Chains A and B, each alone.
Chain A
Amino acid sequence: MTISIILGFVLLGLVLLLALVLPSVTSGTVPFGVRIPAEYSTHPVVAEQARRYRRRVLVCGGVIAVVGVGSLALTRQPLLLPLSVLVLVGLWYGCFFLAHQEIRAAKVDGGWFEGLHQGVAVDTELRTNPPRFPWRWLAPAVVICAGTAVIGILMYPSMPQTLVVHYAGNGTADRLEAKSVGSAFSLVFLQLGLTALLAGLAAAIIHSRADLDPARPQGSARWARHYMALGAKALLGLVAMIDLGLMASSLLMWTGTVTRWAPLVIVVPVLASVVAAVTVLARNNADRGGDGEDTGLTHRDDDKFWRAGLIYINREDLALLVPRRFGIGWTLNFGDPRAAMLLAGVVALIVLVLTLRFGG
């Protein structure tokens, strides 16, 4: 119970912190998912909306924390905390959308793009000489996967006949299953699937299309190259930590160890690596290089391809991954059928794991 409460509050705090910090680490030319010319990035409407957004997010976070604690005290149901995190994410999006709409209206009414020369910049070297795939960063994940599989194979004969395949929020074993290759190695299969998926995503990031600023093409091309490599390394570091957590969980399962700290074995490394990856990417997100450079062009107004400021749908665009507008990292082009296939693959992987662990 205590562990779930602490984890719930840590997660709530992290989400709130991220929501408050994101406007500061987002490029000044896409505040709240609205494309604006660089000279309007300090416009009073933009500054006012950022202030209002932060106030709203803070109020929502406070209300959610009070309601979460209150309902926990009344019902003694720790699952309410993860639920309140989801509610906070929903409210966060609401705050984002209000700011998005206001800035977009000001941009249209004020004709911010009128008279400007819109352009597109491309660095051909990102295609002819792309950043190298960081194989060294993939090595830890591969070693951990292989190590887990080998340990599993060696331990299989001595494993208990009944394996603990799930823990309740309070750390007690609430689902047992007879020993089989499927049940004993379910987490190893998950390791392999996740490693392949995230390594594929890292490769896709390296070959993704960079969104260069036509006003500062040289500087933003240097930044894009650096950021892509950073993104791929962050993803591979994350998968190594997830694999480590799954390895530790597998060892608990195989040795028949029942401990109330079991959820922490996986949650702590994953949470720590997510925080580290987000921090590293966020620090490199806002300043996109090219100080002093000015070609006289401005970025093309591509708002029509972004639904609600967050979802990119462009059937004409061959790119599968595009840089996010609000937040950090990349997002899928949902106008590309491959995006639906990729999501279907992820869902299939989750279903496979659930079937292996809880099926039959």
Chain B
Amino acid sequence: MILNVDLAAEVPIYQQIRDQVVEAIAHGALIEGSTLPPTRTLAADFGINFHTVNKAYDLLRQEGLIRLSRKTGAVVTARAADQLLPSDWTARARTLLAEAVARGIPADHVLQTCRTLLDSFSAAQQEDKR
């Protein structure tokens, strides 16, 4: 998995790392049991403070996407099919959709964009399985 961080972006580096790991899971580049490099190694590869990577990993752990242990390091966890969307996800989706409505983007176009993105994730997962 490639992590590409923009040092001048407004989005903090830990958030960029967290977002890209989430996308990699959605695309199927990371599957259940995939390991991530140890915090210090990843921080050294980026040339950033290890606390920054630690913060990204901690966010992912809180979201239930990875588990952290001294023995195995950071490992992608199993997906729970019956798991309901967490409330903070709904809140963020609400903000994003509100932005679209506020900009006057038609509802059909918003739905179409969401569908295209979701399809791109499942297409990438199928590709990885092959």
Contact = CB atoms under 8 A, between A and B. Distances in A.
Contacts of B35: 128
A316 B47 contact: yes
Contacts of A318: 40, 44
A295 B37 contact: no
A123 B1 contact: yes
Interface string B41-55: 110111110000000
A119 B5 contact: yes
Given A122-B45, A124-B42, A217 B2 contact: yes
A127 B46 CA distance: 12
Interface string B84-106: 00000000000000000000000
B115 to A, nearest CB: 25
A123 B41 contact: no
Contacts, number: 68
Contacts of B44: 209, 317-319
Interface in A212-242: 212, 214, 217-218, 221
B4 A124 contact: no
B20 to A, nearest CB: 10
Contacts of A319: 44
Contacts of B41: 127
Interface string A307-321: 000000000111100
Contact of A218 (B2, B34, B45, B46): B2
B47 A124 contact: no
A106 interface: no
Interface footprint category on B: 20 to 34
A145 interface: no
Interface string A66-105: 0000000000000000000000000000000000000000
Contacts of B4: 119-122, 214, 217, 295, 297
A15 B56 CA distance: 48
Given A127-B37, A128-B35, A121 B2 contact: yes
A125 interface: yes
A118 interface: yes
Q: Most chain-B CB neighbours within 10 Å: which of A122, A127, A221, A300?
A: A122
A136 interface: no
Q: Most chain-A CB neighbours within 10 Å: which of B4, B6, B42?
A: B4
Contact of B7 (A118, A123, A127, A128): A118
Contacts of A217: 2, 4
Contact of A300 (B3, B7, B38): B7
Contact of A118 (B8, B38, B45): B8
B9 interface: yes
Nearest to A121: B4
Contact of B5 (A120, A123, A127, A128): A120
Given A125-B1, A217-B2, A297-B6, A120 B46 contact: yes
A225 to B, nearest CB: 12
B36 A128 contact: yes
A297 B9 CA distance: 10
A345 B90 CA distance: 59
B7 A124 contact: no
A217 B2 CA distance: 7
Interface in A189-227: 209-210, 212, 214, 217-218, 221
A314 to B, nearest CB: 8
Interface string A241-267: 000000000000000000000000000
B77 to A, nearest CB: 16
A118 B47 CA distance: 13
A125 B37 CA distance: 8
A121 B3 CA distance: 6
Contact of B45 (A119, A209, A297, A316): A209
A120 B47 CA distance: 8
A318 B7 CA distance: 19
Contact of A122 (B3, B6, B8): B3
Given A118-B8, A122-B3, A317 B47 contact: yes
6 contacts: A117-B8, A121-B4, A122-B5, A127-B38, A127-B42, A217-B4
Given A120-B4, A122-B3, A128-B34, 13 more contacts: A117-B7, A118-B7, A120-B5, A122-B5, A123-B3, A124-B3, A124-B37, A124-B42, A125-B1, A128-B35, A209-B45, A217-B4, A319-B44
3 nearest interchain CB pairs? A127-B37, A318-B44, A122-B45
